[in-house]
């Protein structure tokens, strides 16, 4: 019989945006004191196999068109917009004007659905489109300073009673204590190899990005074409930093960075953004850093699913929550709501509703 008094009654394995968003949903139910997050990498770290700090980071139409992706996008947009409205400075989330442009294949059904909830949504006229483009839209998006947002989440969760433990674990039973009732598995790319998970549908999608200094860049720009994606994302509260990208290299797990990719990104992004070309008195962006990150992708989309975990003859609820690909920030909160819903009936009655 569950007593729900221990701080590891609920264990979240993984402290990327996916695990942290699950903790946020639980905190908002007044359950922070029952939650322990176990992870090898924690907010504040940068490591090649910790994807979350490398994100651009914004809401965009990069996500899939299946029902889950559409629902998670909508929920995530609402969540992030509310942070941008109420806690922008602390959470490093900002409301930002955005333009998205397609060269040929336009995901029309998906854009129609997005138009129902995106702020200030408008379709570009043919005269407003750049050369070679077939379609474009403008709307208010949300941009995040990913590393700072992770650190804000950690501080917010700790304040609400969540415990963080840095530990690399070999398998799922290793995080189960005598009073643990629920485990959320949020291990990102490790899902393909981790003992007991070994999901063959998982694969990394590599992307190289540049961190540049480019005063005056206020507009988020995305362009989608045959085999490429180009983006310019002003980083909120960062002293004029802008993230430039990028690449979507399926099944590439290489952490290296390449000069030819840097030059290609600079060429594509300065062609896309007049603000970027005009920055630094017309000299264009000053490159501060180059990085590559591996999006934890999964054939068919992310897995949010409850199963049973048997440890020492006793069953616990195990909720898989991984495979967010290039959408962990925009989809993570919706995924977390779904993940928590799978164990709702097990939870103790909730007394507090936290303000965040």
**Cα-flanking dihedrals φ and ψ of residue 290, to 5°?**
-130, 135
Q: How far is the CB of 140 from ligand FAD (least distance, A)?
A: 16
The site that binds ligand FAD (CB under 6 A) totals a number of residues, namely: 42
Spatial distance between the Cα atoms of 244 and 286, rounded to a whole number of angstroms: 11
Residue 243 · residue 210 · CB < 8 Å:
yes
Q: Which is nearer to ligand FAD, 9 or 205 (CB)?
A: 205
Q: Which is nearer to ligand FAD, 96 or 330 (CB)?
A: 330
**Cα-flanking dihedrals φ and ψ of residue 18, to 5°?**
-70, -45
Q: Which is nearer to ligand FAD, 22 or 343 (CB)?
A: 22
Q: Which is nearer to ligand FAD, 79 or 295 (CB)?
A: 295
Q: List the one residue out of 202, 182, 206 whose CA is nearest residue 191.
A: 202
Which position among 32, 64, 147, 188 is part of the footprint of ligand FAD (CB under 6 A)?
A: 188
Q: Binding of ligand FAD at residue 217 (CB under 6 A)? A: no
Maximum pairwise Cα distance, the chain: 68
Stretch that binds ligand FAD, among 106-114, 183-191, 254-262, 337-345 (CB under 6 A): 183-191
Helix or strand or coil: residue 20?
Answer: helix
- Exposed e or buried b for every residue in 303-332, given b needs 16+ CB within 10 A? bbebeebebeeeebbbbbbbbbbbbbbbbb
E strand or H helix at 94: strand 93-102
Q: Binding of ligand FAD at residue 334 (CB under 6 A)? A: no
Q: Which is nearer to ligand FAD, 136 or 293 (CB)?
A: 293
Contacts 24+ apart (CB under 8 A), 258-263: 258/208, 261/208, 262/208, 262/210, 262/287, 262/290
Which position among 29, 32, 50, 95 is part of the footprint of ligand FAD (CB under 6 A)?
A: 50
Q: Binding of ligand FAD at residue 296 (CB under 6 A)? A: yes
Site for ligand FAD in 60-89 (CB under 6 A): none
Q: Binding of ligand FAD at residue 55 (CB under 6 A)? A: yes
Which position among 295, 298, 303, 320 is part of the footprint of ligand FAD (CB under 6 A)?
A: 295
Which position among 98, 138, 330, 342 is part of the footprint of ligand FAD (CB under 6 A)?
A: 330
Q: Binding of ligand FAD at residue 297 (CB under 6 A)? A: no
Spatial distance between the Cα atoms of 7 and 162, rounded to a whole number of angstroms: 8
Which position among 322, 333, 342, 347 is part of the footprint of ligand FAD (CB under 6 A)?
A: 322
Q: Binding of ligand FAD at residue 58 (CB under 6 A)? A: yes
Spatial distance between the Cα atoms of 144 and 52, rounded to a whole number of angstroms: 12
Helix or strand or coil: residue 330?
Answer: helix
Residues in contact with ligand FAD by CB under 6 A are 13-19, 39-41, 50-52, 54-58, 168-169, 186-190, 194, 207, 209, 245-246, 293-296, 322, 324-330
């Amino acid at each position: 019989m569950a007593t729900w008094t221990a701080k590891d009654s609920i264990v979240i394995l993984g402290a990327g945006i996916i695990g942290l968003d699950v903790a946020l949903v639980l905190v908002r139910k007044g359950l922070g004191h029952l939650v322990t997050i176990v992870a090898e990498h924690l907010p504040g770290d940068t490591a090649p196999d910790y994807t979350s700090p490398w994100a651009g980071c914004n809401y965009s139409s990069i996500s899939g068109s299946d029902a889950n992706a559409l629902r998670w996008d909508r929920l995530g947009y609402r969540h992030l917009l509310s942070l941008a409205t109420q806690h922008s400075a602390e959470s490093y989330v900002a409301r930002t004007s955005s333009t998205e442009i397609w060269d040929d294949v336009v995901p029309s059904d998906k854009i129609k659905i997005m138009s129902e909830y995106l702020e200030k949504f408008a379709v570009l006229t043919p005269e407003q489109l750049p050369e070679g483009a077939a379609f474009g839209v403008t709307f208010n998006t949300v941009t995040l300073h990913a590393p700072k947002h992770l650190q804000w989440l950690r501080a917010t969760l700790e304040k609400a009673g969540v415990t963080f433990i840095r530990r690399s674990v070999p398998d799922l039973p290793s995080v189960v204590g005598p009073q643990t009732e629920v485990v959320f598995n949020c291990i990102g790319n490790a899902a393909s190899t981790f003992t007991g998970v070994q999901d063959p549908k998982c694969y990394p999608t590599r992307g190289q990005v540049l961190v540049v200094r480019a005063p005056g860049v206020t507009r988020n720009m995305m362009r989608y074409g045959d085999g490429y994606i180009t983006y310019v994302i002003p980083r909120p509260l960062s002293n004029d930093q802008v993230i430039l990208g990028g690449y979507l290299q399926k099944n590439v797990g290489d952490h290296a960075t390449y000069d030819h990719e840097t030059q290609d990104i600079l060429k594509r992004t300065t062609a896309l953004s007049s603000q970027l070309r005009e920055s630094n008195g017309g000299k264009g962006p000053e490159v501060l850093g180059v990085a590559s990150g591996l999006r934890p992708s999964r054939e068919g989309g992310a897995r949010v699913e409850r199963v049973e975990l048997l440890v020492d003859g006793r069953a616990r609820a195990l909720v898989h929550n991984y495979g967010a690909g290039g959408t962990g920030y925009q989809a993570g909160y919706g995924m977390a709501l779904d993940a928590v819903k799978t164990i709702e009936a097990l939870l103790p009655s909730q007394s507090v509703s936290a303000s965040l």
